[in-house]
Structure 1
Amino acid sequence: MIIVGLTGWGDHPSLYSEVTASKDKLFDYTGHFLTVEVDTSFYAIPSKENVRKWCEDTPGNFRFVVKAYQGMTGHLRGDIPFESKNDMFNAFIECANEFKRHGKLAMVLAQFPPWFDCQTKNVQYLLYIRQQLKDFDVAIEFRNRTWYADNVVQQTMDFLREHQFIHTICDEPQAGVGSVPFYPTVTATKALVRIHGRNIHGWRNTGNAENWRKVRFLYDYNSEELQQLGQHLKHLQSEVQELYVLFNNNSGLHAAKNAKELQDILAIRDVGLAPKQLNIFEGEL
């Protein structure tokens, strides 16, 4: 089964009804897709109350991919805002368990930074992640090409498979060691494909943080590119029980459009979507 969605639900205006308030964006989103990446959890661990509301406001078969907090994956510069590393992990685990309690957790996504390269201490840290998150399906996303070097890539995949990690397959610009190749190999009964765009200039941009975020994921996939991705996904689908596909190319608001185009290519007709809200005037008829 292929489940297509987006990273985040708050910045896709083409999905919202004319009367949608900011608090209703998740409801409108679930009228179009059955999965979403919770990317806000990367910046701050959501409260149980927020998680409970999100779960209660979504259809029964809706699933969340919850991105690990930045302090857990080595992105955070400076001290973590917790008394200890254990406190940090316990706070995240409490959050993830709330999704799980409602039956809405697809997986936890641990995305590592470009400087997290293939060396012994980082392999040991992956084992620590596995130990801390032992009760969860965990997807690992590498952003350093050394994990895919010809002489180690099979060991990388074997390691992920042995420790029941989900290999995150990425479509992204091929821009040196700080990017990874599209490597369509699965290591668990679930798989995750994250689609970042192919904007090489934006990927390499070294300007200020605001500009970097605007251009990094600025890309609109054309029909031929989506057809090629679709062929890969059909093959991967035969190897897993659930295949999650998340579009992250939203700097120019292309993610929702590309995701729907891919759904059409794959003839995906999701069942169980939330009803779309009526226009305020239609509601009076």
Structure 2
Amino acid sequence: MIYIGLTGWGDHDTLYTEDLKPRDKLAEYSSHFPVVELDASFYAIQPVRNTLKWVKDTPEKFRFVVKAYQGMTGHERNEIPFENKEIMFQAFKDSLKPFQEADKLAMVLFQFPPWFECNRENVNYLRYCKKMMDDLPIALEFRNQSWYCEKFRESTISFMKQNGWIHSVADEPQAGEGSIPIVPVVTNSSMTLIRMHGRNVHGWTKPKNADTNWREVRYLYKYNREELLEWKERVLELSKDSKDIIVLFNNNSGGDAAGNAKEFQQILGIEYEGLAPKQLGLF
């Protein structure tokens, strides 16, 4: 099965009426798409009351891709607010329980930062993460191209297969060391993740501290039909070896993610059942 959705549900204004309150957006989002990436979990481990609400707001077949907390992926380089890593990982796993109990957890996404390069220390840390996450489905996405350079590419893929990692295949600007190429390879026969970041090289390389609006340009990109047709062929090929595929559009600096996701759904000829009922307008 191919599931198409977006990263986050709060900023996709084309899906919502102007008077829709933020607390009601997820319920409305789930009338359009069957899956979403939860980004709030990256910035802070979420209290169970939040996850319980999100489970309640979505239909039975809805699924969440939950982004791993930044302290677990090395994005947070200051002191983490936990006594040690074991306590941090356990707190994160506890926050997932409502998703698990409702059978709404698709996977946890470990997206590592651009400075997380291919070396022995980091390979060992990946083993540690896999051990700490027990049998939970976890996906792996790199942001440093050393993992897929000629020297390490096959070893990286083999390592992911042997350790049960779900491959997060990224479409992103080719902007040097801090980006990775498209590597359409299945590493876990149960599931494959695809994240569509856009191809805005200027926005991708813009320093985060250059101004306060780096998010407004980093993912400023609208995929054209030819690019989406290229991805149709890749997805269909990947589906031969992967039971489920989740495609998430993250190109929303200009509000293009939802439109591209719906266009891609149309290109693939997919109609989803079991979505939430859409809000009814005045007429």
Given the alignment of the two structures, is residue 243 of structure 1 paired with residue 225 of structure 2, yes or no? no
- In structure 2, the partner of 1:69 is 69
CA distance in 2, matches of 1:128, 1:67: 17
Q: Cα distance, 1:211 vs. partner?
A: 2.6
CA distance in 2, matches of 1:209, 1:149: 32
CA distance in 2, matches of 1:132, 1:270: 34
- In structure 1, the partner of 2:213 is 211
8 Å contact kept, 1:17–1:28 = no
- In structure 2, the partner of 1:8 is 8
SS at match of 2:96: helix
- In structure 2, the partner of 1:119 is 119
8 Å contact kept, 1:41–1:68 = yes
CA distance in 1, matches of 2:211, 2:252: 16
Given the alignment of the two structures, is residue 179 of structure 1 paired with residue 204 of structure 2, yes or no? no
8 Å contact kept, 1:17–1:277 = no
Q: Cα distance, 1:209 vs. partner?
A: 5.4
SS at match of 1:126: helix
Deviates more, 1:105-114 or 1:220-229: 220-229
**TM-score normalised by L of structure 2:** 0.97
Give the letter for the 1:220 counterpart.
K
- In structure 2, the partner of 1:99 is 99
Structure 2 unaligned spans of 5+: none
Q: Cα distance, 1:208 vs. partner?
A: 2.4
Task: Give matches, 1:9-28, under 5 Å.
Answer: 9-28=9-28
Q: Cα distance, 1:202 vs. partner?
A: 0.8
When residues 30 and 96 of structure 1 are mapped into structure 2, their CA distance, relative to the original with a 3 A threshold, is: same
CA distance in 1, matches of 2:247, 2:15: 18
SS at match of 2:222: coil
- In structure 2, the partner of 1:191 is 192
Cα shift readout 1:91-149 (whole Å, capped 9, x = no counterpart): 10001222111110000000000000000000000000000001200000000000001
- In structure 1, the partner of 2:86 is 86
Structure 1 unaligned spans of 5+: none
CA distance in 2, matches of 1:217, 1:18: 23
CA distance in 1, matches of 2:47, 2:28: 22
- In structure 2, the partner of 1:170 is 170
- In structure 1, the partner of 2:258 is 256
Task: Give matches, 1:51-62, under 5 Å.
Answer: 51-62=51-62
- In structure 2, the partner of 1:200 is 201
Q: 2:224 aligns with which of 222, 225, 236?
A: 222
Q: Cα distance, 1:18 vs. partner?
A: 4.8
8 Å contact kept, 1:196–1:249 = yes
Deviates more, 1:256-265 or 1:232-241: 232-241
CA distance in 1, matches of 2:95, 2:65: 12
Q: Cα distance, 1:19 vs. partner?
A: 4.2
SS at match of 2:100: helix
- In structure 2, the partner of 1:135 is 135
SS at match of 2:221: coil
SS at match of 2:136: coil
**TM-score normalised by L of structure 1:** 0.96
CA distance in 2, matches of 1:126, 1:18: 43
8 Å contact kept, 1:4–1:259 = yes
CA distance in 2, matches of 1:129, 1:209: 34
SS at match of 2:214: helix
CA distance in 1, matches of 2:98, 2:134: 16
Cα shift readout 1:47-98 (whole Å, capped 9, x = no counterpart): 1111011111101110000000000000002100112212211110001222
8 Å contact kept, 1:30–1:59 = yes
